[in-house]
Amino acid sequence: MKVTLRPPGFIRQVVILGLIVLVLLVACGPTEEPAPAVPTTQPATEAVATPTTAFRVELPTTSTPTPEGAPTSTPRPTNTPRPPRTPTSSPSDKPNTVYIPGGEFVMGSDDNNEDETPQQMVFLDAFNIDVHPVTNAEYKEFVDATGHQAPRNWKEGTYSEGKGDHPVTWVTWHDASAYAEWAGKRLPTEAEWEKAARGTEGLMYPWGNDFGSTKCNSNEAGIKGTTSVESFPDGVSPYGGMDMAGNVWEWTADWYDAYRGSIYEFARFGEEYRVLRGGSWFDAADFVRSSARNSADPNFSFSTIGFRCAE
């Protein structure tokens, strides 16, 4: 048997040719489409979040920053400013008046009722004030001259016999204001009344700092009614005012409100009630102090309420 041997070069050519065919078969096979690229920016309607940025809501800013640690309840601002300065007066030519020179005085008290706080120095221009509360006889002249309604405790248009020099009572704030206007005067401010009663030294009572039951018509006197406005000369104020403690509460021009600088809050404060000063025959020593305050509706009248005038 004859065997024919192929040369080594022929074998190499067959191997190379096979490799070429294999490469072509792989190249011509199916291919996968590349994955779409991830956009580098998000649509305008979506927020871009990154792992290093915490999510938060941005609130609109305002021009006034909110104070930190603000209290949940802010003390009510007081409404009463320092008493208004009145035109400088000269001594009045009207009878039964006393002249109060201008200057500072101690108003209020830090040791008694909270509506009297804070005690402070207050400046007032000069003014005049009546020596005593308006009497029944004086008020009758007004009623007769104007036809104004008489107080309810009068009978047949006049006061009880023997009480002409007692302070008129059962008068409203409006009655008192009407009389003052008719007389060419006005009601004193609260500050004017207090200065006339206690002077510049801050006295507790018109006569000093110790109470005296024989110096005023208070409950301690046991009289249980009004007295003549000249019954207690020992209780005269530093300027000569009579009955500035006891006998009758006296209307003033002011609304009942907190003093300047006070943080005390009270439901009656505001422009609803008028200030009364001085205490009455019904009240005890604590209420006839010169700094003690009371209040009432301007339409209210009672057997313990009267008034005096100023100018």
Q: In this structure, is residue 19 part of a structural domain? A: no
Q: 183 Cβ partners below 8 Å, 6+ apart?
A: 142, 309
Q: In this structure, is residue 241 part of a structural domain? A: yes
The residue written with tokens 């301690």 in the block is 220
Q: In this structure, is residue 66 part of a structural domain? A: no
Task: Mark 9-30 as b/e (b = at least 16 C-beta within 10 Å).
Answer: eeeeeeeeeeeeeeeeeeeeee
The tens digit of pLDDT for each residue in 85-100 reads 555 678 998 999 999 9
Structure confidence at residue 17 (pLDDT): 60
**Does residue 196 surpass a pLDDT of 70?**
yes
Q: In this structure, is residue 126 part of a structural domain? A: yes
The tens digit of pLDDT for each residue in 199-254 reads 999 999 999 999 999 999 999 999 999 999 999 999 999 999 999 999 999 999 99
Read off the CATH number of the domain in which 223 is found: 3.90.1580.10
Q: In this structure, is residue 200 part of a structural domain? A: yes
Q: In this structure, is residue 87 part of a structural domain? A: no
CA-CA distance, 142 to 215, in Å (whole number)?
30
CA-CA distance, 155 to 299, in Å (whole number)?
21
Domain of 282, in residue numbers: 97-153+164-307
Q: How many domains does one find in the chain?
A: 1
Does the pTM exceed 0.85?
no
**Does residue 304 surpass a pLDDT of 50?**
yes
The tens digit of pLDDT for each residue in 133-171 reads 999 999 999 999 999 999 999 999 999 999 999 999 999
